[in-house]
Structure 1
Amino acid sequence: MVTPYFEEPIEKLARCHRSVLDQSYKDVIHIFVGDGRRQEDIDSWPRTQHITLPLPHSDFGDTPRLIGAASAAGLQFEAVLFLDADNWYAENHIETLYSLGRSSGADVVTSSRYLCRPDTGEVLGVCTECDGLNFVDSNCYMFFDSAFYILSAWGLRGNSAVRSGVSVIGDRVLWHAIQNSNLQRTHSMRPTVFYETSFAAHYLARGIDVPGFAKVIRYDKNQNRYCIEPYAG
């Protein structure tokens, strides 16, 4: 399990880690990768490895994810999952994906997710977007070792791609690479990921008043770059 972090509060990192420790499938190591930051408390947490990068990359966790996955591959782990610092898993998440992967022979297994408010923790409902056909969120993957090579799509990009801000949509870039590969994949419709969302579209789609912290992703033609901006603007 790979978790990139930057400036998230230790309380959210601890919640993220607790959801890994509480998994029904126990044979898991949680790899934290600090992107130019180091939370010393993590060193004492059980079943963890802690990697700190000397400089921040400011690429929405893409480089830390890639380095964490490379470490897992080099240590001959059987599978790799990703969990952002502000999200968490249902207790049966790993067991569900692992069992489905082994029974189907898939290289990549994905799951559905719940959407939650980051300010109150309220569960908004099941995300209809993360369906294993059109899109999969980065928190909803399990990659078996036969699929490790595809993870290079997450971070090994040319300078022009980096300048375009493509990391804003890095999970869509990875999903596109998977769809255009020969990897076998399967999807669990059971939502076992809890995802804190600040995207305005998730509130608009549910007829909920858009909170002040909501944001949108926009492609700026003048800058030739993807940007995240406040919805209010």
Structure 2
Amino acid sequence: MDTSALGRVGRNHRSPVTAKPLLSCSPTRGGACPEDAGVKIAVVTPYWRVIPETLARCIGSVQRQTIAATHYLVADGEPQALAARNDDVHLVLPANVGNTGATPRGMGAQLAFNDGCDAVAFLDADNWLEPDHLAKATALLEREGLDIVFARRHIVFPDGERLPPGDEEDEAGDHVDTSCHVISRRASFMAGIWGMYPGAFGSGGDRLPLHVIRLMGLRTGFLAERTVWYETNWPQHYQRAGKAPTGPLRQPSRSVVACFDPETYRQHTGITLPFLPGPRSARPEKKHPHDWRIAVVTPCRDGDGTALRRCIDSVRRQGDRVSHVVVCNSPPPAEASGVMCLSLPCGSPADHGGTARGLGAMLAFQLGFDAVAFLDAGSVLSPGHLDAARAALAAHPADVLVSSTADVLDGLLIARNAAHLGILAAQLPPLPTRAHAAALMVMIARARGASVHRLATGAPADAAPMPPATPFTLDASTLFQRTGVRAAGALT
């Protein structure tokens, strides 16, 4: 692979990207494609403590779409039986992330894209869709060669009364509710933008992605019709309607306008937004590396049970400030009892464990860990390995620490200062070997301005040897669509 091309990657640089067909068929007059054409559309719904009847309304509206869609329901720490009974995909996070559904939304979208979906629509659990929502949105995506389609919404009160159109921000396009986004695979990197939304910013997780979309020069368009129903409990809507609320109203404890900090956002997403910090924004106090809480993320496949037990035991011996996140492509094996587990319901794509690593890293960073280390199920950490890593980072501050074997993902450690690189493991396009994936991750890290340090001591014991390099070419368009990184030309 020629690394010089990545050296010319510019942060937030606008450059044209050749549009590729979204769908593998030509839409019919109604905007739909034949079901046997291989088109895959996903709807992602995060939920937490939602009334079952409300969730059923949401699920029913997806089932009534005029084109087939797979519903990815993501439980933010508290699964419901209704979602589990559904025939679609149910992802259960082991803990509530606490950022208004942004991380489960992003994880569901990343999983859907990695499962081969052509487009992903977001739908919050208390909202619902018109039956032709997906058909119209995907038809517009294809017809105009767009990256993202924005739908328009009906705002309705819990008693069924509809608020007349006239929301100034909505009408001007300055605000687009999350449930109104339909994203093509040409902009699949946006899954990470939602998933890494900092919880400290409070509510407003739909506002910053809109700024990113425009900053990155993505092609967008609006549907003419209103195809999303949005149930409101916001006080400004009651005030505009002159209506007295019959229940508690939504009062965000924090506002993204007040809490936004550009450096924190860059650390989470890799994107620098040109905004001033809000009046009450405050960056969290930096910890010394010796005090870091580290999460070790391990992808686990069927048949890894015996090796996984040795792996888990080696992580437990690293000390109290280390936790283990095991990401499985099936129900967690008995050997993983007592550790945090994330079970991917769709199997594991042939990406050398990248999806599992990336989603595990996203979850760990959003749960507050200071660093994430990758470790294969067939490997073990030598006693004191992570203490040595902390000492190395204290002596040589860096965002990424690689082991002395250089080019394997085993042992790669990412600090919170570069948390956005964690999800990158799930965003990389298919590559010949995981050695290529590790090399590309390090190159992108440097292109994004992250510092990389090599640990002088050895890699994890029993680490798989790096396979021979296999020549391949990665076009710049694919790299941008998957990661949001722009390169000057194809990487070979």
TM-score (norm 2): 0.42
Contact 2:56–2:82 (8 Å) recurs in 1: no
Contact 1:109–1:186 (8 Å) recurs in 2: yes
- Amino acid paired to 2:170: C
Give the Cα–Cα distance (whole angstroms) in 1 for the partners of residues 129 and 56 of structure 2.
13
- Counterpart check, 1:40 vs 2:75: no
Q: Which residue of structure 2 aligns with residue 63 of structure 1? A: 103
State the 1:222 CA deviation: 8.6
Greater share of strand: 1
- Amino acid paired to 1:79: A
Q: Work out which of the residue numbers 170, 180, 197 in structure 1 matches 2:215.
A: 180
- Counterpart check, 1:72 vs 2:130: no
Greater shift in the superposed pair: 146-155 or 51-60: 146-155
Q: Which residue of structure 2 aligns with residue 230 of structure 1? A: none
- Amino acid paired to 1:81: A
- Counterpart check, 1:4 vs 2:39: no
Q: Deviations over 1:73-115 (max 9, x none)?
A: 1101000011111110011111111111111111100111001
Cα pair distance change 1:96/1:169, threshold 3 Å:
same
Q: Deviations over 1:48-91 (max 9, x none)?
A: 10000000111100110011011101101000011111110011
Q: Helix, strand or coil for the counterpart of 1:3?
A: strand
- Amino acid paired to 1:39: Q
Q: Which residue of structure 1 aligns with residue 194 of structure 2? A: 154
Q: Percent identity?
A: 32
Which runs of 5 or more residues in structure 1 are unaligned?
226-233
Q: Helix, strand or coil for the counterpart of 1:58?
A: coil
- Counterpart check, 1:121 vs 2:163: no
Cα pair distance change 1:222/1:187, threshold 3 Å:
closer
- Amino acid paired to 2:222: H
Contact 2:120–2:182 (8 Å) recurs in 1: yes
Q: Helix, strand or coil for the counterpart of 1:203?
A: helix
Q: Which residue of structure 1 aligns with residue 205 of structure 2? A: 170
Aligned residues: 217
Q: Helix, strand or coil for the counterpart of 1:106?
A: coil
Give the Cα–Cα distance (whole angstroms) in 1 for the partners of residues 80 and 250 of structure 2.
27
Q: Helix, strand or coil for the counterpart of 2:206?
A: helix
Give the Cα–Cα distance (whole angstroms) in 1 for the partners of residues 244 and 54 of structure 2.
25
State the 1:209 CA deviation: 3.4
Give the Cα–Cα distance (whole angstroms) in 1 for the partners of residues 58 and 187 of structure 2.
25
TM-score (norm 1): 0.86
Cα pair distance change 1:86/1:162, threshold 3 Å:
closer
Q: Helix, strand or coil for the counterpart of 1:205?
A: helix
Q: Helix, strand or coil for the counterpart of 1:16?
A: helix
Q: Which residue of structure 2 aligns with residue 202 of structure 1? A: 237
Cα pair distance change 1:193/1:127, threshold 3 Å:
farther
Q: Helix, strand or coil for the counterpart of 2:160?
A: coil
Cα pair distance change 1:197/1:127, threshold 3 Å:
farther
Q: Which residue of structure 1 aligns with residue 227 of structure 2? A: 192
Which runs of 5 or more residues in structure 2 are unaligned?
1-42, 260-277, 283-492
Contact 1:112–1:127 (8 Å) recurs in 2: no
State the 1:210 CA deviation: 4.8
Cα pair distance change 1:127/1:31, threshold 3 Å:
farther
Higher RCO structure, 1 or 2 (CA under 8 Å, sep 6+): 1
Q: CA RMSD in A?
A: 2.1
Q: Work out which of the residue numbers 151, 170, 185 in structure 2 matches 1:130.
A: 170
